[in-house]
Amino acid sequence: MTKPASKIRFKAKLFRQAQSEKAGSWSFLILPKNASAKLPSRGMTPIEGTINGFPFQATVQPDGQKSHWLKVDRKLSKSAGADPGDIVTLEIAPAGKETEREVPQDLRKALAIAEPKARTLWEDITPIARRDWIQWITSAKQEETRTRRIKNACSMLAAGKRRVCCFDRSGFYSKSLSAPKAAI
């Protein structure tokens, strides 16, 4: 039997995102480096816990600075009695089960018409490997880069490649991942 993960307790400031399609629809916080270091991965990590005593489940994202950030939607913020600018108290732990990320529609369509070997391998790889492929594709800044990555992913999967080469889950070395910018 494995020992359950201990709770990670910390306080963090809740920030309003600088720009969003729906201004004010969500806020975020950056985990202190010592709290982030206790998580099992520098990459995306599903967590469960409480914010100001209110229970929640979410996935923390790498911030590119060897830590993580957490998106706090309006509903969670309201339930926790927290507004941007507030210092919130969190108690988190890695979630018991790895959550599977939804496959973006453009990748799903490409896999549907890809070589059968690519589809078979996609179904055979681990959820973490699929998550890395998805993150690599969705971290593209330009649409043409994303399209090229989808095409390359299908080719690499068809060739038997189970993992994205040289993909930095933390964003620290490639700077492909980062926390949102806080509004001033």
Question: pLDDT value at position 1?
Answer: 36
Q: What are phi and psi of 61, to 5 degrees?
A: -110, 150
Question: pLDDT value at position 156?
Answer: 95
- C-alpha 131/C-alpha 16 separation (Å) is 27
Residue ranges of E strands in the chain: 8-13, 15-16, 26-30, 45-51, 54-62, 68-73, 87-94
pLDDT surpassing 80 at residue 54: yes
pLDDT surpassing 80 at residue 117: yes
Question: pLDDT value at position 3?
Answer: 44
Question: pLDDT value at position 144?
Answer: 96
Single pTM value for the model = 0.64
| Contact (Cβ atoms closer than 8 angstroms) between residue 111 and residue 151 | no
Residue type, position 48, single letter: E
Average pLDDT over the chain, rounded to an integer = 87
